Amino acid sequence: MENSLELAGITKAFGRTGVLADIDLAVQPGEFLSLVGPSGCGKSTLLRIIAGLEHQDAGQVRIAGRVVDRLSPRARNIAMVFQNYALYPHMSASENIALPLKVDRLSLAERLPLLRYLSPRRPRIERDIVEEVGKVAEALQIEPLLARKPGQLSGGQRQRVALARAMVRQPSLFLMDEPLSNLDAQLRVHMRDELTDLHRRLGATFIYVTHDQIEAMTMSSRIAMLDGGQLAQIGSPAELYERPASLVVARFIGSPAINILPARLDASGSVLVGNLPAGLVVPGRIAGPVSLGLRPEHVRLHAVCERPMPMATIRRSEHHGADRLLHLDLVEDRKAGLIVRIPQDDSGRYQPGETYGIGFAPEKAHLFDGDGMRMAVTGTAPARIGAAA
Amino acid sequence: MEAARISLSSGRWFRFVGAHAVLLIGAAFMLLPFLWMLLTAIRAPDEILTGGLNPIPRSFHAVENFTAAMQQAPLLRFMVNGVIICAGILVIQLLVAIPAAYALAKLRFPGRGLLFAAVIGGLCIPIQVPALPIYLALAEFGLLDSYFAMMVPFFLSVFAIFLFRQTFRGFPDEILQAARVDGLGEFEILWRIVVPSALPAIAAFSIFSIVAHWNDLYWPMIVIQRMDYAPPPLGMLFFANSETGASYGVLMAGATIITAPLVLVFLLARRRFVQGITMTGIK
């Protein structure tokens, strides 16, 4: 239970605007949990509530099994890394890193100018602090930078100093608020790697807020997706990718984004795309519009159509290294497009301007009802369009 | 010469010269009284009223005037008084205004908007308005003729609160939150984290405050009767009446001596001053 975090019924509103509604979440010790969602979904507010920087209107926060609602951020034994690093501008890197330890171990009087020289134990404590700062700096390879002020550091270096300041107190919980979003693309990939590595070495619990689904997918043990102040889904990256609970999750996770085709459920429970049966059966639901989701890698292009199937024309072909992305327009409905991922080797076969039939394996399709919630597909009908041969 | 050396194109050269010509004329207007004060201070007495506008004195009388000023008037006493008053006012102003400005800029509490409106309102009230009630109160408590009487109306500077609030507002909230997570209390956050980054604004305000109160004649004249407590301008006034009569040379020598510290302070803090003013957007 040592580094666990539990949220129960967290609700928060700013004035009349509801930000978070009844969030329940349990984070296991040592877990790397990402909070993702579009901007304004409440993920940063939730993180600040965990930190104690904001207070929830209702609900409870428990860290290591202990209710911390009335505790100050400091007493919660957490560390936080901010989007803009939030280093103290007039202090050197080593002073920045040392500050949390000084606050922890020296009394207020021992931190005051002049008065502090009266304390006999201060020099010994400060020596220990310098030593610990040195160790953390060594672990993050920022020793040569310790004397510099934040203004003399690059973005990546500032980020490391901010991490060192978070690590130095050995907190049970690391809270990170989009820490990589101000770095350039290359450095971001590198820091992603370092953070994952750091998480493994420290064995601490990480709560990581990001709007970048790639960061969440690559680093987390679990992802909690927030949408409109509610928990849309929580699960492993694979679960969110393979079984998104709603249209919102399906659209947010995955790059390029999932293809969503407008479809219809008829009275018999069979799914129609255009007027063609899609080969999926959902009995017991009221007929009406539904959405069919297909990941780019799950779309099959058929040059020869054995059955009637939706047709699409290749508009553009993009080189993405190992694979190639084809942008297609549906022939029946020019406004609806879709993206298909194919291996680079096949690129010679698909040229812009060519028209193909759109097919897919039914078990790879995602179906969402009129409210955008996932529908269980119970069976496949015999007349399926473009089923894999 | 300057322009030629940094090789400006001709259009920019004219703008450069034009701008500097305007600035020079402005500077001349500002500096002329000081120049005249200096020139008068080094002239012989008979030349002061008869010499016309001739800037070059015919006979130099500087040594005589300055020694006379130093000997006849307790200039040092006046200046010590000035330092005590300016320092006392400034220290209390900063101690009061900085926390108030931080609260108005960064803390959320009911009535904040109203309080800030009151600060803005306070900016519009000159010292002459509360002068009489403050005088009566000081008289009632027997505090007239003291350093305290000269300082008390200025302890609370709404201008300082306003200026610092504008400065603090630009301070990133993230850093405050980081400090809270690190365990600092609000007062420590203010004095250790926020104030060091607001030094230019504090320097700018300090200059405003020191200049205003060093030169203030109005309020000391109301509450001070004894020369022992007189700040420089009031001291000069006493001095002009009682000792020198029409000896303008000596008077100007005294004025030169009491103005010098201000000019020095400004020159020393000039860069910070300009930073502070441009940073807060008050020009």
B165 lies in the same domain as B196: yes
- A86, B180: Cβ pair inside 8 Å? no
B51 lies in the same domain as B81: no
B54 lies in the same domain as B90: no
- B180, A72: Cβ pair inside 8 Å? yes
- B177, A86: Cβ pair inside 8 Å? yes
B31 lies in the same domain as B155: no
Q: Which of B63, B83, B101 is the last residue of a domain?
A: B63
Comparing CB atoms, the residue among A83, A90, A99 nearest residue B182 is A99
B97 lies in the same domain as B202: yes
B163 lies in the same domain as B27: no
Chain A residues near residue B197 by CB distance under 8 angstroms: 89-90
User: What is the Cα–Cα distance from B255 to B40, expressed in whole angstroms?
Assistant: 11
CA of B185 to nearest chain A CA: how many angstroms apart?
Answer: 10
- CA A103, distance to chain mean position in Å, is 33
- Nearest chain A residue to B177, by CA: A53
Instruction: State the SS3 of chain B.
Output: CHHHHCCCCHHHHHHHHHHHHHHHHHHHHHHHHHHHHHHHHCECHHHHCCCCCCCCCCCECHHHHHHHHHHHCCHHHHHHHHHHHHHHHHHHHHHHHHHHHHHHHHCCCCCHHHHHHHHHHHHCCCCHHHHHHHHHHHHHCCCCCCHHHHHHHHCCCHHHHHHHHHHHHCCCHHHHHHHHHCCCCHHHHHHHHHHHHCHHHHHHHHHHHHHHHHCCCHHHHHHCCCHHHCCHHHHHHHHHHHHHCCCHHHHHHHHHHHHHHHHHHHHHHHHHHHHHHHHHCCC
User: What is the Cα–Cα distance from A183 to A191, expressed in whole angstroms?
Assistant: 9
A103-156 pLDDT tens trace: 989 888 888 888 888 888 889 999 999 999 999 999 888 999 999 999 999 988
A8-55 pLDDT tens trace: 999 999 888 889 999 999 999 999 999 999 888 899 999 999 999 999
B188 touches chain A (CB under 8 A): yes
B142 lies in the same domain as B32: no
Number of domains, chain B: 2
- B181, A87: Cβ pair inside 8 Å? no
B176 lies in the same domain as B268: yes
Indicate which of A99, A161, A165, A167 best probes the interface with B, i.e. most B CBs within 10 Å of its own CB.
A99
- Domain membership of residue B256 as a residue range: 69-280
CATH number at residue B228: 1.10.3720.10
B29 lies in the same domain as B110: no
Comparing CB atoms, the residue among B178, B185, B193 nearest residue A82 is B178
The answer, yes or no, to whether ipTM is higher than 0.85 is no
Q: Which of B63, B84, B108 is the last residue of a domain?
A: B63
CA of B199 to nearest chain A CA: how many angstroms apart?
Answer: 11
Indicate which of B175, B180, B182, B194 best probes the interface with A, i.e. most A CBs within 10 Å of its own CB.
B182
B34 lies in the same domain as B104: no
Chain B residues near residue A100 by CB distance under 8 angstroms: 182-183
For chains A and B, CB pairs below 8 A equal: 56
CA of A154 to nearest chain B CA: how many angstroms apart?
Answer: 18
B110 touches chain A (CB under 8 A): no
B56 lies in the same domain as B149: no
- A53, B177: Cβ pair inside 8 Å? yes
The residue count for chain A: 389
- pLDDT (tens digit, 0 to 9) for every residue of chain A, 389 residues total? 478 899 999 999 988 888 999 999 999 999 999 999 988 889 999 999 999 999 999 999 999 889 999 999 988 989 999 999 999 999 999 999 999 999 989 888 888 888 888 888 889 999 999 999 999 999 888 999 999 999 999 988 999 999 999 999 888 899 999 999 888 888 889 889 989 999 998 889 999 999 999 999 999 999 999 998 999 999 999 999 999 999 999 999 998 999 998 888 888 888 888 788 888 888 778 888 999 999 999 998 888 877 778 889 999 999 888 889 999 998 877 677 899 999 888 767 888 999 998 888 888 899 999 888 998 877 665 444 544 33
Q: Which of B63, B85, B106 is the last residue of a domain?
A: B63
- Is the pTM of the predicted complex or chain greater than 0.95? no
- A89, B178: Cβ pair inside 8 Å? no
> To 10 degrees, what angle do helices B248-280 and B75-106 make?
10
What domains are there in chain A, each with its CATH number?
5-247 (3.40.50.300), 258-380 (2.40.50.140)
Cβ-count burial A53-90 (b if 16+ within 10 Å, e if not): bbebeebebbbbeeebeeeebbebbbbbbbbbbbbbeb
B28 lies in the same domain as B100: no
